[in-house]
Amino acid sequence: MKIGIIGLGLMGGSFAKAIKKYTSHEVYGYDIMERSLGQAVRQKAIDGVLDLDDLAKMDLTILAMTPTKVLNFVEDNRQLSNYVMDLCGIKRVISPRLCDLARENNFTYIGAHPMAGREVGGFENSCEDLYRGRYIIIIRHGDLPKWIIGMLNGIGLKIQYSTDDTQDRIIAYTSQLCHIASNALVKTPTSLDHEGYSADSLLDLTRVATINEEMWTELFFANKDYLLEELTNYIIQLKKYQDVLVRDDEEGMRELLKEGKDIKAKMYPRKSK
């Protein structure tokens, strides 16, 4: 099958490399950045540059861009056909319009969100094994052919089927809140004095503080209701630790820590033993 990828940054570039390595499908790429296209061609991550006039020839077109850019691209390229999959981190803000466009232009829309990434972006940081052992959230807005399921499994992805609303609600906790917490942690006055006093705990907690502020601002505000709910809940929990310290309540601290440890064991049972 012929697969077109629009946007050859970290996510799209990794899809291209993975499909080329682990499947027999043909991959064609398009990016407004000539540098990314050139790198993809030189590294043989794609079989050729995708001419937008040939979008109708693609069996699957993957849109690896921000939500606003995805909507604009589909609006401007009515020649899209067959299957069109976006990789956006939020769904409610784009799915209704993309479903309308799919009906108007006779293609099948697949909402997708790979649960993988790195703290750095761009094609130069893409990786053929980025998706191995990871989940991809799939919102089915039509029949999903076996060959697409096979392609996703082939590059190492496990499928989690969901709905637009459920995906956005849970992602507010599992991804968006984590990025805010990490970004806020580095702003405490002691952060720049860490050298010689820090180990993996600080490194792990601050990994995703390195953030694309344009993309994540768009994602945060598009999912504002669920993100505010999770942020409020997190602040409530942090306040509990502050309160027991102020009260010199050592027993209260032990209870809070044990409660968190027990919940973590339920979240990741095999890793907590």
Alpha carbon distance 159, 114 (integer Å): 9
> pLDDT at position 119, please?
79
| % of residues, the chain, pLDDT over 70 | 99
Mean pLDDT across the stretch 92-118? 95
Q: Tens of pLDDT along 200-240? A: 999 999 999 999 999 999 999 999 999 999 999 999 999 99
What tokens appear for 206 in the block? 């601050």
| Eight-state DSSP code of residue 157 | P
- Given a cut of 60, whether residue 18 has pLDDT beyond it is yes
> pLDDT at position 94, please?
97
Alpha carbon distance 117, 143 (integer Å): 27
| Residue 57 φ/ψ, nearest 5 degrees | -85, -10
Q: DSSP string covering 178-245, please?
A: HHHHHHHHTTSTTGGG-TTT--HHHHHHTGGGS--HHHHHHHHHHTHHHHHHHHHHHHHHHHHHHHHH
> pLDDT at position 143, please?
82
- Given a cut of 70, whether residue 254 has pLDDT beyond it is yes
Alpha carbon distance 75, 72 (integer Å): 5
> pLDDT at position 191, please?
93
Q: Tens of pLDDT along 257-270? A: 999 999 999 999 97
Q: How many residues comprise the chain?
A: 273
Q: Which residues, in sequence order, are bridge partners of residue 138?
A: 112, 161
pTM of the model: 0.92
Beta-carbon neighbour count of residue 131 at 10 Å? 24
Q: Tens of pLDDT along 124-170? A: 999 999 999 999 999 988 788 999 999 999 999 999 999 999 999 99
C-alpha distances in angstroms, 109 versus 105, 119, 160, 273? 11, 28, 17, 41
